Structure 1
Amino acid sequence: MKLVATIFCTLFIYMGCISQEISTAEKEQILLQITNLKTAHLNSDAVLADKIYHDNLILTSQSGKKYSKKEALANIKNAFESYENSDISFLNIDTNVILTNYSNKRKFKGLDEGEYRLTVVWKKQETNWVIISMQSSKIKKKNKR
């Protein structure tokens, strides 16, 4: 009987996960917002970034420093020379909350290029997806021998 209960619980949890799949439309909307964020960074466009960041944004940099929306928007003005995203994964957390994780290569003007892993929590607000939390971790380069 315990085995039957375990199997039933496992199936119930599995079915719950399946029902939380992310639709193609949701993925496309978030991918568009990721592209918009790239555009905002490359063009130092705080107005565009303001539309992407939630009012209560928590942004954590690779150094561990926490930024508010106001600080994040001020930092947008530090222009990038390059900014490329890849390896984007999606995870449905809850209704209208999706987590993305992706690799980001970027170069600030006057600094060396770096590669980062971004974990971003998106929340659907009315008809638009906005970032409520973002954390960036620098990816260390492997030494070639």
Structure 2
Amino acid sequence: MTVSIGKSAVMAALLCSPTYAYANEKENADNAIAAALSQIRDAALASNPDMAASVFAEDLALVSQSGKLYGKEAALFDLRNGFETWDNSDVVVREKGDMTIVTFVNNRTRTNMEPAKFLVMQVWRKNAQGWLLSAQSSTRIKRK
């Protein structure tokens, strides 16, 4: 038995195909970045920056609270500084091709310090190995 497929059905399938592919890419980007954020959290809580080194781009640009610019080595060094808690909430991922903007609220407590809350903006870049954190800036949210 032969089933005839009309031109309309073929065109509809072709037109839907890129949308389907984009939806899967978007879902994968969201999942990959969520996993990378968890990797950074786990590294901070374990005071083991090696756990997160693979998600930081070699040319990482991190703007600190004081307005200073730091690179990958300094970002990894900071993860050694003993965190007792680390929680990200309100995570929003805005994918723009091979670049993604991520915003979230980070609540964390360093050992022997008061809890702190930050509004964070990150730029992630996709390469052959996956998504890498390329830039980050954060602003402390004052507690009432």
What is the TM-score of this pair, normalised by structure 1? 0.79
Pairwise CA distance, 1:109:
0.4
Identity of aligned residues (%): 26
* Residue of structure 1 equivalent to 2:103: 101
Larger Rg: 2
Match of 1:28 among 21, 31, 34: 31
Q: Deviations over 1:50-73 (max 9, x none)?
A: 111100000111221211111111
Structure 1 residue runs of 5 or longer lacking an equivalent are 1-19
The SS at the match of 2:66 is coil
Aligned-partner Cα distance in 2 for 1:104–1:75: 15
* Residue of structure 1 equivalent to 2:121: 119
- Range moving further from structure 2, 44-53 or 113-122: 44-53
Match of 2:73 among 59, 70, 74: 70
* Residue of structure 1 equivalent to 2:4: none
Across the aligned residues of Structure 1 and Structure 2, the Cα RMSD in angstroms comes to 1.7
Aligned-partner Cα distance in 2 for 1:107–1:130: 25
Are 2:141 and 1:139 aligned? yes
What is the TM-score of this pair, normalised by structure 2? 0.79
Match of 1:41 among 26, 44, 47: 44
Q: Write out the 4+ residue segments of structure 1 that deviate beyond 2 Å after TM superposition.
A: none
Are 2:54 and 1:51 aligned? yes
Aligned-partner Cα distance in 1 for 2:72–2:115: 24
Aligned-partner Cα distance in 1 for 2:77–2:38: 19
Letter in 2 for 1:133: A
Q: Deviations over 1:18-62 (max 9, x none)?
A: xx8761111011101011110111111221221111000001112
Structure 2 residue runs of 5 or longer lacking an equivalent are 1-21
Aligned-partner Cα distance in 2 for 1:98–1:69: 19
Letter in 2 for 1:141: R
